Homo-oligomer: A and B are copies of this chain.
Amino acid sequence: MSLSTAMNLNQQLDCLFDPRSVAVIGASSNMVKWGFHILNLLLVKGGREVYAINRNEPEVLGLKTYRSVADVPGPVDVAVITVVYHDIPAVMEDCVQKGVKGAVIISGGLAETGEEGARVEREVVEIARRGGIRLVGPNCMGHFDTSSGLYTVPYLPPSTKGTLSLIAQSGNASQAIVHAASERGLGFSKYISSGNEADLHFEDYLEYLAQDEQTEIILGYVEGFREGRRFFELAKEITKKKPVVILKAGRTEAGKKAAQSHTASLAGSDAICEAAFKQCGVIRVADISELIDVALALVGQPLPRGRRVAVFSTGGGPAVMAADALMRHGLELPELSPKTMDKLNATFTPRWSRSNPIESGGDPFDHPCLWAVLEDDNIDAALIINAVAVARNYAWWVQLPPSLNDAIEQYIVAEEETEVEHINNLLELMHKYQKPVMIANIGIPSAREGVVYDRLEQTHLVPYLTQERAAGALAHLVEYSEYLGVARGNG
């Protein structure tokens, strides 16, 4: 019996995420090939022994190559395989001979393409099982772990470490998710492009991430579950401690058909899936934007205790659209308490809207105003429109005389100081009252640079791009909160 069969699932995945050494089988000097990019990233990231396996080139990226993984002098914990599909069985035999513990099969052309590919895939799994090798993929884009510094992916956005982990049954979708997350300042702990899931299933990774201390929120892109019942039982336990957010694709007939041809997965009935997710507390999203919106809210916001929202806006039109967006997502805009009205009357000029949405014509982000509203027992959460991180975009107010440059810069710097102070106050209030405060900028867009944006990014309060998206994310927080019993139910 090999060492790895004696290991339990967690130990096997520990090894896959933090091997002592990695061999790239199919390493290449051709920079349009993934065997080039994966090897390059492994070398750049460093931290472990890396071997290049190639039958034709003596050297790749400055590294001496071996004709087979079996020829490598030291031990090889993990093999990354990028060779053409019909060569994989032979390569897997070499891996077994070498005592490899885990393999990441990047190559496609297997079960997703039809009977011939499915036959090769079954053969590869049989060989691997015989040698106690656990498999990621095939037909995938690798995996990574920002703590161990292992990356078997071909490309990498400038993502940072973070508390999200992602399991995705599509490499392209997962790349889009990682990119979109990093655009919003969100970072990852672990990432798995699970591909055809010939050996390790979505459910295996899920079980592993449940006990992973670096993972606080689990994201998934799913076309079909191999072990639906196991997923349900796992999710039911996990969602009590960590949010699980899933983009289930293949919802429609055309989508299901496409999923079948993509990862050979059976998408199943969407209605059953919808009901099961609801029952086990999984947050279901419709597309990648919504997935990232919810992740941002889960990372940055406390869980609300209800669905009653106060809106602050610097503009009337945005206030109307915000009210529409919140209502459409099943949230409520209650009246403010008489006590809060008194406080706001004392703060604003008489022209303020005198109701919720709060449209003051002034700065709704002002401390006394926010304090009054977040203290109000009628209010569970707030949405702030067009009030944060806009000063730096003064430069967008084009074509001012150059003689004013200094005055403008002074104005911006002073505004930014005030805004950072407001953000710090906001954070204090959010956590004191345990009420989420979503920010959306739809007019002059939020500047993506400067001290204000930096502070927003650090605190995971970067503005949503529309009220619609902020409202959608908040609605998911409320539903999850109700599921957990943190919030009282609707009505």
CB-CB < 8 A to A154: which residues of B?
A: 397
CB-CB < 8 A to A31: which residues of B?
A: 400, 404, 407-408, 411
Question: A154-208: which have CB < 8 Å to B?
Answer: 154-158, 168-176, 179
Cβ A317 vs Cβ B169 within 8 A: yes
Max chain B C-beta neighbours (<10 A), residue from A176, A259, A353, A361: A176
* A89 at interface, CB cutoff 8 A: no
Cβ A173 vs Cβ B288 within 8 A: no
How far does the alpha carbon of A468 sit from the alpha carbon of B286 in the complex, in Å?
A: 9
CB-CB < 8 A to A322: which residues of B?
A: 258
Closest beta carbon of chain B to A73's beta carbon, Å: 25
Contact A289 B407, CB 8 Å, known A315-B173, A397-B154: no
* A142 at interface, CB cutoff 8 A: no
* A321 at interface, CB cutoff 8 A: yes
Cβ A443 vs Cβ B158 within 8 A: no
Cβ A324 vs Cβ B261 within 8 A: no
CB-CB < 8 A to A158: which residues of B?
A: 398
* A257 at interface, CB cutoff 8 A: yes
Task: Say which residue of B32, B324, B350, B444 sits within 8 Å of A179 (CB atoms).
Answer: B444
Give a binary string over A98-120; 1 marks a CB under 8 Å from any B CB, 0 the rest: 00000000001100110000000
Cβ A155 vs Cβ B386 within 8 A: no
CB-CB < 8 A to A489: which residues of B?
A: none
How far does the alpha carbon of A320 sit from the alpha carbon of B318 in the complex, in Å?
A: 34
* A18 at interface, CB cutoff 8 A: no
Closest beta carbon of chain B to A239's beta carbon, Å: 24
* A223 at interface, CB cutoff 8 A: yes
Cβ A155 vs Cβ B397 within 8 A: yes
How far does the alpha carbon of A393 sit from the alpha carbon of B117 in the complex, in Å?
A: 32
Cβ B261 vs Cβ A355 within 8 A: yes
How far does the alpha carbon of A14 sit from the alpha carbon of B21 in the complex, in Å?
A: 75
Question: A66-119: which have CB < 8 Å to B?
Answer: 108-109, 112-113
* A344 at interface, CB cutoff 8 A: no
How far does the alpha carbon of A268 sit from the alpha carbon of B244 in the complex, in Å?
A: 41
Contact A172 B320, CB 8 Å, known A355-B257, A407-B31, A466-B287: no
Give a binary string over A395-414; 1 marks a CB under 8 Å from any B CB, 0 the rest: 01111110010011001000
List the one stretch of A36-44, A271-279, A373-381 in contact with chain B: A36-44
CB-CB < 8 A to A176: which residues of B?
A: 318, 442-443
Cβ B254 vs Cβ A323 within 8 A: yes
CB-CB < 8 A to A316: which residues of B?
A: 112, 170, 172, 258, 261-263
Cβ B179 vs Cβ A443 within 8 A: yes
Cβ B258 vs Cβ A357 within 8 A: yes
Task: Say which residue of B44, B173, B467 sits within 8 Å of A317 (CB atoms).
Answer: B173
How far does the alpha carbon of A123 sit from the alpha carbon of B443 in the complex, in Å?
A: 32
CB-CB < 8 A to A170: which residues of B?
A: 315-318, 320
Cβ A172 vs Cβ B315 within 8 A: yes
CB-CB < 8 A to A397: which residues of B?
A: 37, 154-156
Contact A443 B172, CB 8 Å, known A316-B263, A327-B253: yes
How far does the alpha carbon of A108 sit from the alpha carbon of B263 in the complex, in Å?
A: 58
Instruction: Give 20 CB contacts A-B under 8 Å.
Output: A31-B408, A37-B397, A112-B316, A155-B398, A156-B399, A157-B396, A172-B315, A172-B317, A172-B443, A175-B443, A175-B444, A179-B443, A179-B444, A223-B317, A252-B327, A257-B323, A257-B355, A261-B316, A262-B320, A263-B316
Give the 10 A-B residue pairs with the shortest CB-CB distance, closest first: A170-B317, A172-B315, A262-B316, A173-B317, A252-B327, A255-B324, A254-B323, A255-B323, A254-B333, A258-B323
